Structure 1
Amino acid sequence: MITKSNIVFISLFLYQLIFVQCSFLLDGEKNPLNLPTTGLALLEDTSPPKVTSSWPPQDHVGIPTNAEIVISFSKEMNESFTESAFSLTNAGARLEGTFKWIWNTMYFSPKLALNKPGQYIYSLQKVRAESKKGINLLDDFRVGFNFNSDSEQPTLVGTIPASGAISVTPNASVTVEFSEPMDVSTVLPAITISPSVSFNLPATVISNDDKTFQFFPKQSLNYGITYTISIPNTIKDKVGNLLVQNYSTTFTVGSDFERPKPVSVSTTAVPNFLNREYILTNGFEKDEAFIIQFSKQVQPATVLSAVSFNPSFDFSVADVDGNNTTYRISPNSNLEISQTYQMMISASIRDFQNNTLDKEYVFFPKINGPKSKFIQIRGIFGNAYNTVTANDFGNIMRLDRINESIPPLNACVAATECDQNLFINFCWGDNSASCIYPLIAASPPYGTVILSSLDVSVSREFAGSIVGPNAEYLTTFSNVTPVYPFDIFAYSTTARFLDRDSIYKLTIRGGKSGVTDNFGNYMKEDYSIRIKFP
């Protein structure tokens, strides 16, 4: 019979059995009674591990330089995994060190002393830190502390010139002010200005308890240039805290940003041809200067380098008005007659606030003005000009054949030697068919062939069967130009003692060393005729 006392005994026995069994299971011991544990396995601890304490604590200031980082956990941890989840950094740089464990506590000993400015941060990543049962931390763990009590990073208070300033003078200094006293040795070499300008560092004025630095450029700043002051975050304050960020400010020297432009480009012969860009323009003289007038003052050196001609020639540049607005471009020698030049004024010309020319200008002047024409020989004649009847010269000598008939040859009755009158008619132009004479028909001075430049020769080219006793020669030249208004210019001579049956060549020398006039024009090439008295 089951009595009440039996029921109490059985109840106590079962309670003790279950309590002991669960206790052993929770403590990781074997089941001493070898009882079934299928149902009891539901009581295993699956909660994540936690950090129960750490040192240094959050925001702690003033630690020993050889301090260890200590972190305690609520459970036994997978040591290698937890170590890989740990990091200690300062100013973004990771510090190396060694680990050791005592029970559930990890100790990290840094290889370097903890004496750097700025905040140290040690942390654990939850995805790596786990218990021996493979259960990860529930949250990332992060603590910050400081070696020094001053952990505030300095900032830039301002600059002079201020950021975005204009109308800055070329001799301006650069002033930089910080929020805290700074380490001078880190400030002086770090602050730069671009485009590159060197500072006179020994002359730097440091004031305001090492918060304010006034720098002096070694050379003047340039008008029209925007400069950038760069202040890097490698600069430190007195206790070693880094500048909170990189800073840069800009300023512009000068206040005049209007570009200069030419208002007139001219010569004496050709008035303002500014509106004839890329168009062939006639009428320029070979010995005249080009005058360029600008809308404002420009730097002389930039004019010299910006003006060019093609074909090229040497020239000089002079300030005409002494005010740097009008310049004379003077060729060092006469330009080539009938040559078309490309004249370029590049945009590199600058005013005194460094503004460049509004654009590039290109012109095509042709040297064919009234006083810049080639000398031509309209013809060599046997008869003089008739000023009474205003008839032209008569009996022109042919260029394409030997002149051996009368006319154009003079009548000759001598048996062996003959004389020939020669009237040389000069004119000016691109060719003898369209040339003009005289060179300046409207008013003096007129074009005049310089007598001393006449280099005329007569030579026997082929000897005939008859040889006279005298040597051939040319008589002195005479100016047989009629008085104006006759449109004519001529010299005359006589070829004496030309042997019958011989061919003579009469040549007038051309080129720059040959026939020239009072305006510096010349005959491009030699002019020759041939004569044979039958």
Structure 2
Amino acid sequence: MKFKTLLSKCALIMMFFTAACKKDDFTEIIGLCPLVVSTNPTNGATSVPLDQIITVTFNEEMNPSTITLNSISINGPTVVTGTISYSGLTATFTPLSPLEANTIYTGRVTTDVKDTRGNALQADYVWSFSTGLLIGPLIVVTSPTNNEVNVLLNKVISATFNMAMDSSTIDQTSFIIKQGFTSTEGAISYSGNTAYFTPTNLLEPNTTYTGILTTRIKNLAGVSLAADYIWTFKTLSFLPPTVISTDPFDNETNVILTKRITANFIVPMIPNTLTNSSFIIKQGLTTIAGVVSYSGTTVTFVPNSSLDANTTYTATITTAAKNLAGTPLEDDYIWTFSTGSILVPTVISTDPFNLETAVILNKVISASFSVPMNPLTINTNSFTVKNGNTAISRIVSYLGTTAFFNPTSPLSPNTVYTGTITTSVKNLLGTPIATNYVWTFTTVNNIPPTVIATDPINNATGVLLAKIITATFSVPMDPSTINANTFILRQAGVMIPGTILYSGVTVTFIPSVNLKSNTNYTVTITNAVKNVAGINLVANYVWTFTTLTVPPPTVISTSPVNNATGVVLNKVITASFSTQMDPTSINTSSFILKEGLISVSGNVSYSGVTASFTPTLALKANTLYTATITTIAKNVAGVALASNYVWTFTTISNQPPTVISTDPLNNASGVLLNKQISANFSTQMDPASINTSTFTLSHGGIPVSGVVSYSGITATFQPDNLLSSNTVYTATITTGAKNLAGIALAANYQWSFTTIVLIPPSVVSTDPVNNALGAEYNKTITALFSIAMDPLTINETSFLLFNGTTPIVGTVTYSGLTASFNPVVDLLPNTLYSARITTAAKNLAGTPMANDYNWSFTTKLSGGAPFVNLNSVARFGIIAGAGVSNNAGFSEIHDMDVGISPGFRSSVTGFPPAIIVNGAIYAADDVAPPGVAAMLIQAKNDLTAAYNFAKGASVPVPIVISGDQGGKTLTPGIYKSTSSLLIAGGDLTLDAQGDPNAVWIFQIGSSFTTIGGAGGSIILSGAAQPNNIFWQVGSSATIGDFTSFQGNILALTSITMNSGATAEGRMLCINGAVVLTSTNIINKP
């Protein structure tokens, strides 16, 4: 009774699950039945790429066996052929060829799809999307594919286009392979529709590369790629190679005596490392002679003679075998196998196979044996094929382990044939097969072939102009009957040239040129085509289609513009189009220039999207011209302008040119001695007429030598030397100067000006000022002049600094009006220094200072340490070389960045939950924003410089400390520990004694540790600032639990902040990692 009750309960449960996915129940049992939750493209998506891979994502795991081309389909004008795969929750449909442009597609997921419990989709899921308009070329496939991994180091990278391309546009500037920002060297080639990049050297292992095909690449019509095509791939890792399989496998028995021994590697190997020395076969201690070869990832050993029967052999591949990276096997790879006893040979396969149907009439029949046979026993008596009792005339041959039967005439259609191998065939040892081997097959019937599908389909519209036309037959055809006489494309009765290909059951026609826009085409397959049985089509097969409509091109700009005036007489007239044009349609018939009704002779050229008309002779002055682009001009799709484009312009008048302005002005005074003299004309001039004969400068009748140039409407005279001070100069433009119409100035044009009266330069201010006290030790001394100086005269001989009579070594620079002296070493404390600017300093006019300028200042008293300048690394709250991690808790970094270099972003972990407030993370492998890697390198260089400065600081004299500093109070200065340093027995107080600029430098030879908890924190007093405290740590720093820390840590090896530790400062590590253990806070000091 209990058993019956249990059965009843199980039945009810099963009824619930099997009924649960009924449509009426679906909303009540959430998550029990499968749903489509998303698709890519989404429903209603537009401008979908033609190479789109379509995906469907479900709400639960599905039964992969129900995800098929029958349950998921994509339909446009015809059913889209493709492959289907399933992984995770997503089904992926990959079209075998690009989608049609400007076409609506419908996707359907049927109720045949089921989840792993057998629950079906409640209703068909249907969505649609549309592709974009395309005339230009596309990349249809790359090798390696996008995001492919484990790419071979000797890989030839390729990209295949959807049409023939202009090979001259495919070169090192348009096909680029990069590793990070570094371009990879290689050779570029092009064949068929495919471009190839062959790297000069092996690719780096375990490295990500980026391939770029730029818009410089064009097809044969001059149409560029719409955008740069970019993809990435990653090479195989730098690991030792391994043997992944062998044939025979280890301990295999009954191996045939003619066996070829092979081994497959996990990666490609260097072929010359696989020889008889590294691939050895032995029987006991005896080495077997043979030939070693290598292909792909497989090495093959072919014994010179048959192996011995019933014998054990040992195969060895030694560590001399290396992969393409030069890495050898870690250990010799050894396996054994045993041969079988001498057995009776057998027929192991035939072609056609037994009971095969639809065998072609020109079939060569073959039979393969289990062991090599004696060729003399394979003949017309031992290998027969019969139609009933009638033997077929034949030629019998033998190669390898296969016998071939070649009928002397085609087989009969729809006929059963019997093949027989008799017992007279023997192996090389003279052993015959045990019994006659007999099999049958049936040839194809004699039903005429038909066309079962075409692309485009009959009456299709919106067909791409670069369309490849195909037709599919019901049976395999005789390729020799598929040619330009039997597959014809016509437009209005005119045959379109193209290339015809045949494969499988499909014929393909590739037009030699793009089809015309909005045009009807007719395709004919004549009844001269035959199948492999020699049977013709019953009648010609004809279908039509219409291409898509391409908008007509337009003229978007001209030069001169419409109604322009004052156009120069040597003007080249240009017109720019809205799209790329057919260069052959841009000529003197489609680009016309007229003066009234008279055509102007000229040459027409075309480049990019611009047509140019260059008149043979100069245009006439003050004349109206009319330019016309006619409807003969067509774009690369063959679409003409909708109407003639006409515009007019007027050339410059025949009035004499005039000088409209000069620099300097007439009667100007105070003109600089290095002045360039210029004159502006009323119109463009003939540059050849503007020279030192027509543009002169003189003073008191004495000519000034110089160089004359001309640009736009401006002539310029550059004197060879500085002008003289307080002198009147006269400039003259003579009547030899002419405009582009050849018309000269009506009269010479003259003007005069007076140069500046020279005043000696002077020093107007200095820093430090004269008699200043408390100057910093690292002070840069500056002097500001009254006028711009000659930088060449501001140097170490004209700007001097002395301590008493001892010169101070420094670097002198000049910018704007300021000279700067930067001492090579810091100045001494509480010391009087004298600075001097000598009369060797001159202004731009060459006028020296009237007297030396002297001033003095005194440096500040000693007591504090020198400030450590962090420069660009000051922006970082954390920077590390190898890693940055937040192990637990919600750590925070405020108002500073986090950086890692040379480490990568993958080595920054725990962000989040850690956050950065008013800052960002930067890593050496970041590609955006541009320049991150260089910025990080500079920051690390600045960190190293600051570390070395702090480590070597010696003024004031360092105070030697050691051990635990807890409970102490330290005033500003340099503190040096030759080994480790602790803060453990209490808090360490740093007292600035009222000086907010006071500096501490702690020089720690080894590790630095704060214990934390009740003691071990840093306490600041007397106006001390955390930004002025520097902890130079020779190895690793550890900030203890709940420590309140102050200052900047500059560590060589690593930094760790334990749980709850906080810092007003920076954690800066040169080589290793910075670790935040749990809930740490770092604030900008």
TM-score (norm 1): 0.35
The structure with higher relative contact order (CA 8 Å, sep 6+) is 1
TM-score (norm 2): 0.18
Q: Which has the higher strand share?
A: 2
Q: Which has the higher Rg, Structure 1 or Structure 2?
A: 1
